[in-house]
Amino acid sequence: MTSPPLQLISFDLCPFVQRAVITLLEKKVPYEVTYINLAKKPAWFLKISPFGKVPVLKVGEEVLFESAVIVEYLDEVYAPFMQPKDPLARAKQRAYTEFANQLFMAQYQLCQADKNLFDHQLESLKELLSRLEPVAQGPFFAGEQPHLVDWNFAPFFHRLLLLEQAGAPQLLTPYPKLAKWANNLLKRPSIQASVPEGFKEKYLNYILNQQGHLAGLISL
């Protein structure tokens, strides 16, 4: 029986679709990505996305939304299984996927913050990183082998390292385990191939165009 074709729908800077792309690349599953303009969402997209949000995964005629759900579906359907066999360990990693979502929000707020709010947002992000540092076992989240939870954190670290290289505050310096984890993730071909061509320039230009305080700290 032939599996239904997979089509991801998102926009080109979305960290959440990147999770799904990494998972598909690690599993060597064929897929297609359609990028849309969020400022002018197509009518066909609004018909299939219950909240008008990305990413969306089309599996034949069926539609899934919410990135964590999409990634878990892909992991259940396509080998190899990338979650712990132990239910408690698996639940813990799912819980930390929610923690990753908080990191994405803090990172987004930092990129948007003006000079008056920047230091507050920076401290908020540092506080989250300080909570995560003791949990990471290294070289990946749970030890020697990467799991699905690693793909859920990877887009955050990808963007953080790009910002650090462009002149943003070096947030990982006080957290050696997180720094090692981030660098191990970014060495994987799947992470590098999970974004469109020219992603670095597009992402940094996006930050510059926000005209927040961070824009004055970075350069291409």
Q: Which residues are catalytic?
A: 14
Beta-ladder partners of 56: 9, 65
Q: State both tokens at 205.
A: 């230009």
Alpha carbons within 13 A on the beta-carbon side of 129: 24
Amino acid at 134: P
Beta-ladder partners of 32: 7
Cβ neighbours, 10 Å, residue 74: 24
Q: How far apart are CA 85 and CA 106, in angstroms?
A: 31
Closest CA to 19 of 147, 133, 184: 147
Q: State both tokens at 93.
A: 């990693």
Q: How far apart are CA 145 and CA 34, in angstroms?
A: 31
214 contacts 168 by C-beta, under 8 angstroms: yes
